[in-house]
Copies of this chain bind each other. A is one copy, B any other.
Amino acid sequence: MTAADERPTYPPELRTLLDGRWRHIRDLAREQLRGERFAPVADLSTEEHRERVLGQLKTIAATEMSSYGFSADYGGQDDVGGSVVAFEMLVCDLSLMVKVGVQWGLFGGAIQALGTQRHHAAYLHRLMSLDLPGCFAMTETGHGSDVQGLRTTAEYDPGTEEFVVTTPDEAARKDYIGNAARDGRMAVVFARLITQGTDHGVHALLVPIRTADDSPAPGVRIGDCGRKAGLNGVDNGRLWFDGVRVPREALLNRYGDVAPDGTYSSPIESDNRRFFTMLGTLVRGRISVAGGAGSATKAALAIAVKYAQVRRQFDRPDTGEEVALLDYRAHQRRLLPALARTYALHFAQEELVGTLHERHSGEPAGDERGQRELEARAAGLKALATWHATDTIQTCREACGGAGYLEENRLPQLKADTDVFTTFEGDNTVLLQLVARGLITNYRQEFGELDPLGMARFAAGQFLGAVIERTAARSLIERLVSAAPGRGDESDLYDRGWQLELLEDREKHVLDGLARRLRRAGSSGSEAFDAFNDAQDHVLAAGRAHMERVVLEAFVAAIDRCTDQETRRLLDRVCDLFVLSAVEEDRAWFLEHERLTATRAKTVTQQVNRLCAELRPHAEALVDTFGFPDEWLAAPIALGAEAERRREQRAAAQG
């Protein structure tokens, strides 16, 4: 009997449901990203790893996977959702995932979204084919989270009709820029546009950074960020510009342009609003990172669950047989609630990608509020999904013991590579505050940075109480919530309406309380800042509460799409485990606010234990359904090595 024979089967509809709308792209990735070229390899030097990933990138450039996100007019496929899903399938090496993201998501995506026809015609073909490898040069050493604080300048010179790009000092050098240290030829550079003596705020321009012979372009200095914790297949670097001249047409001019004489024009009057509109078009990056984090989490769970299924330690006193790790309640508790949350986040991601796709296919819809809501949700899901990845992959490493520490078993690489996901494309702590701001202002506030004074004023003047807007399967959820039994010890913990109502109620209460605190802050900037700062844990809690409710709604909607009864029953239990373990984790809040009695809170803990026991036999099927080929998991402990040793041990003991 081989390890493969021991695998339980899973309901086929579960895979169909998980693969979702872009299942053809998932299947394509499963077929194409195979063989030696895409196998994970441990212990490469930085240079070897970069070389390998560039080779993989070239292979992908030759497939349709490089073209999903671009205009059909220029050889693309106008499939924004598909581009996110394709990105998320690159689990064989997350360096490749990120390099793909840099080239076709960030660099290509910025040209597509911020450029106009002249840029599309000149560059889209070349960048899809990798004839033009490029960078997205936004972050500076001195300003990462606070993008409006960027200090690189692009000053227009009407005499030559050129922009002069300058790094004023060391803090303004571009930093952590993917593709910069080795492969990039051109960069989308974010810089303050200055013309006729006026600073119009941050805009993006195309700046060549390397010549055909691979030396830095004149006036450009290039540094290497060196070794990182992970993602060493990506060549992150630094860029300095010393009065680099680029033609007027290098400006990505969809949202702001400069006439030959230096006159500035823009369809959006306010600098602030224009800047955030530009950033908003790049929302796909955050959604992609959330998806990538999800994939890494799934891979880690697949490895840890499969190992725990065959790994045995300590005898049962009654049988004398060693006990499989996954039969220990403590082990179930580490892995199964995390697995349930991974399912929940998967469905929320699918929902979000769908919304992105509808909104960003062709010309974006004019509905600004919807766009801001999408941005907030992308920020929130990115934060939740990447923190979940960090926690879960860590847990999986520990759950595999010493074997989990060996590179060959992939967990170290998954951990090290994803570690920066909580930081890049927006620091999670900043992102959750963005979510809270959107909620407090009901997405109506003028675009702007996280200004405590603005929030305090809004809370004082216009906030009329938190509004719960359902984000998925609205009428179903409405129905479930209205049918929910009232509060109190009698109602069923497994009632979906009660669960939904519990999370809605928490969100509403946290948000209303936050608004009250901000309102009391007074109206001076100093008081507003201090009040906001004092309430920062409250702000983060508001963002988190909102997102957990949104995630639950997506899970409920997914179960509703499911027509197979067996699959539905299984998913119902997974959803219960997600909700009840989330409630258990935050039960202090529910107790403090008298949403749960002490007795009921203890019952929640008991039921989480019960659900762990109940789902334990399905654990391997639940990770198999992710559909990662063995060669992507690549960890011997998850693919038969441990099972084989057990058999040898049994044979030796009997012989």
Contact = CB atoms under 8 A, between A and B. Distances in A.
Interface in A530-548: 533-537, 540
Interface string A497-530: 0000000000000000000000000001110110
A268 interface: no
Nearest to A173: B645
Contacts of A450: 314
A331 B397 CA distance: 27
Interface string A330-360: 1101000000000000000000000000000
Given A45-B45, A649-B151, A317 B528 contact: yes
B407 A228 contact: yes
A228 B405 CA distance: 6
Contacts of A228: 405-407, 412
Contacts of A175: 402
A588 B601 contact: yes
Interface residues of A, number: 97
B313 A145 contact: yes
B412 A397 contact: no
Nearest to A452: B317
A626 to B, nearest CB: 23
A7 interface: no
Please give the count of copies of this chain that the complex contains: 2
Interface stretch (A114-122, A205-213, A420-428, A571-579): A420-428
A229 B149 contact: no
Contact of A46 (B43, B170, B651): B43
B420 A329 contact: no
Interface string A220-241: 0000011111100000000000
A226 B407 contact: yes
A190 B315 CA distance: 20
Contact of A229 (B227, B316, B416, B652): B416
A171 to B, nearest CB: 4
Interface string A31-43: 0000000000011
B587 A330 contact: no
Contact of A398 (B46, B328, B422, B537): B422
Contacts of A420: 402, 405
Contacts of A230: 405, 412
A428 B398 CA distance: 9
Contact of A591 (B146, B170, B330, B588): B588
A229 to B, nearest CB: 3
A328 B524 CA distance: 18
Contact of A390 (B144, B394, B422, B451): B394
Nearest to A590: B588
Nearest to A526: B318
Nearest to A610: B534
A648 interface: yes
Interface string A140-165: 01111110010100000000000000
B146 A314 contact: yes
Contacts of A376: none
A609 interface: yes
A278 to B, nearest CB: 19
Contacts of A605: 537
B534 A329 contact: yes
A401 B144 contact: yes
A28 interface: no
Contact of A170 (B168, B536, B602, B648): B648
Contacts of A469: none
Contacts of A411: 229
Contacts of A314: 145-146, 149, 449-450
A419 B405 contact: yes
A594 interface: yes
Contacts of A139: 402
Interface string A392-408: 00100110011011111
Contacts of A536: 328-330, 333
Contacts of A226: 42-43, 406-408
A84 B12 CA distance: 56
A627 B524 CA distance: 42
- Counting chain B CB atoms within 10 Å of each CB, which of A229, A230, A327, A453 scores highest? A229
A341 B329 CA distance: 28
A592 B592 CA distance: 10
B401 A145 contact: yes
Nearest to A589: B588
Given A170-B648, A227-B406, 7 more contacts: A170-B645, A228-B412, A229-B405, A230-B405, A317-B526, A390-B394, A591-B591
25 contacts: A43-B226, A45-B45, A143-B313, A144-B402, A169-B645, A169-B648, A171-B645, A171-B649, A172-B649, A176-B405, A229-B406, A229-B415, A317-B451, A327-B533, A330-B429, A330-B540, A331-B429, A333-B537, A397-B419, A398-B422, A402-B424, A405-B419, A587-B592, A592-B602, A594-B598
Identify the 9 closest CB pairs spanning chains A and B, nearest first.
A229-B412, A318-B525, A317-B525, A318-B526, A43-B227, A227-B407, A588-B588, A171-B649, A169-B652
Interface of A: 42-43, 45-46, 139, 141-146, 149, 151, 168-172, 175-176, 225-230, 313-319, 322, 327-331, 333, 390, 394, 397-398, 401-402, 404-408, 411-412, 415-416, 419-420, 422-424, 427-429, 449-453, 524-526, 528-529, 533-537, 540, 587-588, 591-594, 598, 601-602, 605, 609, 644-646, 648-649, 651-652
